[in-house]
Amino acid sequence: MHILSKSTYIKGEQCPKSLYMYKKHPYLRDKLSIAQRAKFKRGTDVGVLARTYFPNGVNMTPASPSQFGKMFEQTMKNLNDPNINVMYEAIFIYNDTLIMLDILVRDEEKWRAIEVKSSLSLSDTYYKDAALQYYVLNGCKVPISDMQLMYVNENYVKNGEIDINELFVFKSVKEYAEQQLDIIDENVNKFKDIVNLSNAPRVNIGTQCFTPYKCEFLGHCWKKVEDNSFLHTTAFSDKDLFSLYNSGIQNNKGFKRFLDPLSTEMYQLDALEQDTFYINYKKFYDLIGKRTESVAFLNILFYSPAIPLLDGHKPYQEIISAFSILSNESGETKEWNCFDDYSKMEEGLKILTEELKRYEKVVYFSPQNINLMMQRYNIIESKEVLFKIINLKDVLKNSDFFYKKTKYDFSLKTIYEGLFPSESIFEHSRIILNATSDNELERILVGQDMEEENKYLQKAYKFLLK
């Protein structure tokens, strides 16, 4: 009934080979990461809440893919039913391209088309999403009064019950979408031809493997790239690396001709070839400060819901939902969480502050800046705790730490596995997914995982100080 969809169209724009592989060989896709699963769940939650802005709609979501055609016919009938004013996931098909529109609202004799996004701002990809939807709606002769992107208002502050009218903002993209009609029509026909090829199109690996999204066929397309390839280095831009690689310089020997023997690039290349890590120890020791046994290893769990849960909070404002503190001297662990009631967070922060006062140094690993967060909530005085808190992630980045996996994922997992190549540890995202689960048993596992992760942090810290 259809060949393309919104997701496959975006794949075609990113890389025609990715589109072909998805349609013809989907079993070769890389495994979905835990972090991606958590991101999808967040988007779903926002989409469901957005429907309450336009209540009493008819849900057109098919029970199975085989029902797309039937639901398309029903959607077209509903357009002429005066008793139906709102549809969710309305299905339209034009030029072998299927869309499922988040929300369609009757606007007198026309319809207002709305695509919901869970973000605080709009990217180029979101505009392209909407333009494709408008192209299909236009092709189906649906009278559209406006094509809009509905997204989260970054300035919204919760005060009591969620005010749905203030939580979301709208951006009209109809004018943009109309300007894109000819381009989209050309792309759709081109992508349909690609899908009908007998073999995958030849496409060199390049920056499109990661932009705007990491391609799910990376493992397949990169299977001929050596594990120790110079492509995994970070001291050169990806554009320059791929330019060299696709010009015929596909091994490290050829790449070395461009390097200063004492450069960071060469040190990274040596680490790749020896399957080890590189770090500028001088920078590391300067940043890590004096040695002491009075060290606390802090594992702190942030939850940044798109829909604020606490009064005074904005969308995506962080909540500390749990922490685990491992004492380097005694080996004891102190744990706390507020999974049952996030309003207990400030109480937990006070407990955290008192615990951290006991140590000369506090080491944690996180993309978040705990110091700024603590200052935001006015929980602690900087002279008591802030000066002693060290984010090992920042320290390692500023010390030029490199391992073959850190280019794509600078996490405790990849760093640990660089330091201890015979060992493997779980993704931190597993903790996040379990912490936000509705399953009580999964939430119980969070404390155990945080304690275990703290032990990995302690082991890595001690190893680097040797």
Contact 118, 42 (CB under 8 A): yes
CB 88 within 8 A of CB 102: yes
**Sign of torsion, CA 358 362 368 371?**
positive
CA distance 125 to 173: 12
Phi, psi of 87 (to 5 degrees): -130, 140
Banded model confidence at residue 191, pLDDT cuts 50, 70, 90: very high
Say whether pLDDT at 379 is over 60.
no
CB of 110 closer than 8 Å to CB of 89:
no
Distance CA 12, CA 190 (A): 9
For the stretch 194-206, pLDDT in tens is: 999 999 999 999 9
Q: How do residues 159-170 score in pLDDT, each as one tens digit?
A: 999 999 999 999
Q: Which residue has the higher pLDDT, 41 or 249?
A: 249
Question: How far is the C-alpha of 402 from the C-alpha of 277, rounded, in Å?
Answer: 6
pLDDT for res 35: 63
Q: How many CA atoms lie within 13 A of 439 on its CB side?
A: 6
Pair of tokens at residue 34: 């835990």
pLDDT at 176 over 80: yes
What pLDDT is recorded for position 354? 87
Residue 173, pLDDT above cutoff 90? yes
Q: Peptide bond before 212: cis, by omega within 30 degrees of 0?
A: yes
Element (H, E) at 223: none
Q: What is the mean pLDDT of residues 400-412?
A: 94
pLDDT higher than threshold 80 for residue 374? no
Residue 380 has pLDDT above 70, yes or no: no
Position 378 confidence tier, pLDDT thresholds 50, 70, 90: low
The residue type at 267 = Y
- pLDDT over threshold 60, residue 382: no
Does residue 412 surpass a pLDDT of 70? yes
pLDDT at 130 over 80: yes
Q: What are phi and psi of 275, to 5 degrees?
A: 50, 50
CB 363 within 8 A of CB 338: no
Which pair of tokens denotes residue 378?
A: 């006015």
Looking at residue 45, its pLDDT comes to 82
CA distance 242 to 230: 10
Tell me the per-residue pLDDT of 425-436, one tens digit each, with 9 for 90 and over.
999 989 988 988
Q: What is the pLDDT of residue 39?
A: 60
Q: Which phi and psi angles does 402 have, rounded to 5°?
A: -145, 135
Average pLDDT of the chain is: 92
Q: What pLDDT shows up at residue 384?
A: 63
Q: What is the mean pLDDT of residues 290-308?
A: 93
The 10s digit of each residue's pLDDT in 53-63 is 999 999 999 99
Q: Residue 34 above 80 pLDDT?
A: no
Give the integer Cα–Cα distance in Å for 461 and 466.
9
Per mean pLDDT, which of 241-245, 247-251, 461-465 is the most reliable? Answer: 461-465
CA distance 414 to 420: 10
- Distance between CA atoms of residues 255 and 121, nearest Å: 40
pLDDT, residue 346, reads 84
Strand partners, 326: 297, 333
Residue 42, pLDDT score: 58
pTM: 0.88
In the chain, pLDDT over 70 holds for what percent of residues?
95
Instruction: Please tell me the distance from the alpha carbon of residue 72 to that of residue 77, in angstroms, as a whole number.
Output: 9
Question: How do 86-94 and 97-107 pair as beta strands?
Answer: antiparallel
pLDDT at 182 exceeding the cut of 90: yes
Average pLDDT of the residues in 238-263: 90
What is the C-alpha to C-alpha distance for residues 329 and 416, in angstroms, rounded to an integer? 21
**pLDDT band at residue 246 under the 50/70/90 scheme:** very high
Cβ pair 364, 392 in contact under 8 A: yes
pLDDT at 350 over 90: no
User: In what helix (H) or strand (E) does residue 182 lie, and over which residues does it extend?
Assistant: helix 181-195
